[in-house]
Amino acid sequence: MIFKRRGCGVLLHLTSLPGRYGIGDLGRDARNFIDFLVAGGQSYWQILPLNPVSSVFGNSPYMSFSAFAGNPLLISPDELAADGLLAADDLVSVGSEYLVEFRRVASHKRELLHRAHIAFQKSGRSGDFSSFRRQTPWLGEYALFMALRRFFKDAPWYRWPREIRRRDPEALASAGEQLADTVDYYCFQQYQFFKQWHRLRRYAAGKGIRIIGDLPIYVGLDSADVWANQEIFDLDAETGLPAAVAGVPPDYFSATGQLWGNPLYAWQNRRVRPQLLEWWRARLKAIFHLVDVIRIDHFRGFESYWAVPRGEKTAVNGSWLPGPGREFFKIMERDLGPLPIIAEDLGLITPAVEKLRDDLGFPGMRVLLFAFDGNPDNTHLPHNHHPNTVVYTGTHDNDTVIGWQLDPSVETTAKNLARQYANRDIGDDRLLHHDFIYLALSSPARLAIIPMQDILGFGNDCRMNIPGKKEGNWAWRCAARFLDDAAAGHLHALTRLYGRLPRQRRGE
């Protein structure tokens, strides 16, 4: 088991952190949040994927140009200034403290990073940067991909000229020479991201905070991963387009399913299986170098996955195909060592998926907002939780508890069941977020994770994501004044009450 004793943590993505520059970043405010977690008696900080986001994908961290690269919007201008790459006059406050205005932030950060890159080139400090470029195997392909995207005016790679799309060696070498400065700029972005990230992670480790990262099972079609590794995806060799795409059938999030549109891995093609396993090995190795535990989003896709013919408007018309199963994880464990993985096992989960999860010993997820359907055997009800589970009040895809309570489309019977379960009178209309936190922390599950919005009792205007909605997601930010001593003290008291304080801090 990954989690040997009871503990708890907070779900808050880095983009939601406070800060002067319109978006959370890897600087001082991230360290301040770690201090808040320590003061609150927490052991874990759960985040969303760290990969680059784009308005092309609705700024979703689950759809990116790279499964390996870091999000340059998270680079701290203050840290760049401390390294002598920006001047004091560059450090201008931008944007709202409540929402990420992605276009505005991206434009501002792009300008700052170009200035920092020029300053870095002039400084002659190339030693560590050169080592980073040599020791980061995916970096060259990613940087060339991004430089080519810019050169081709943001056209997706499958619409590039054939010799580039099909990766003719001479054409790639020529493009690399022609775009050398732009390639260097994208390498510089990644150098700064990972430099700042590892600095922050060392700070977290020194404070006893472990970081739970998030790994989406699929990658975007228009990504460096697919362009550079076309043979391991189920694509038409000539056009680069998939015959079928990823999604899930209708479930409690959507009556028409979720049509994600990602290309599918060529698990059925034995000829490319060694390359596919090697790509996954590199991907897992890279993320475990960044975080302590990973949550695999859509874990069920390793048992079987939903394939929807390209061109469908919804995910209703699809079929289940077999995934790589237990053998995949045993190969990864053999090559990489123990795999501290949380299996996201939400949605349409079959006994076969549960068996795969349990055979591997991975903890699954339980979400209290799914618990109150009137079935006493509902696995999300705390009295049904297994110790080897992670319990959440809600996830990034859920409404906040207060949003759920005040939503007129949620059945009154579900809200009344929640009140009864929390030993409230049915007519009691007080807000339920504290009760949900009590239920999560008192659960037999060894790990409890509470979204920051629920700790603060925020409504659905602070929701992170509405699945199926293309615009307006991922933008919520937590203003600094909410991360105060009172909130930390209350969280610490509850953490102590339910036996979830870290062992070294139990004597406080």
Sign of dihedral through CA atoms 173, 56, 107, 132?
Answer: negative
Whole-angstrom distance, CA of residue 361 vs CA of residue 341: 9
Distances in whole angstroms, Cα of residue 361 to Cα of each of 326, 348, 389: 11, 20, 10
Whole-angstrom distance, CA of residue 227 vs CA of residue 439: 46
* Nearest in space to 266 (alpha carbons), one of 195, 318, 322, 310: 322
Whole-angstrom distance, CA of residue 251 vs CA of residue 391: 20
Whole-angstrom distance, CA of residue 175 vs CA of residue 178: 5
Say if residues 253 and 397 touch (Cβ distance below 8 Å). Answer: yes
Please state the three-class secondary structure of 43-108 as a single string: CEEECCCCCCCCHHHCCCCCCCCCCCCCCHHHCCHHHHHHCCCCCHHHCCCCCCCCECCHHHHHHH
Whole-angstrom distance, CA of residue 245 vs CA of residue 7: 38
Sign of dihedral through CA atoms 266, 338, 65, 211?
Answer: positive
* Nearest in space to 388 (alpha carbons), one of 5, 70, 28: 5
Whole-angstrom distance, CA of residue 286 vs CA of residue 294: 11
Catalytic positions: 297, 344, 397
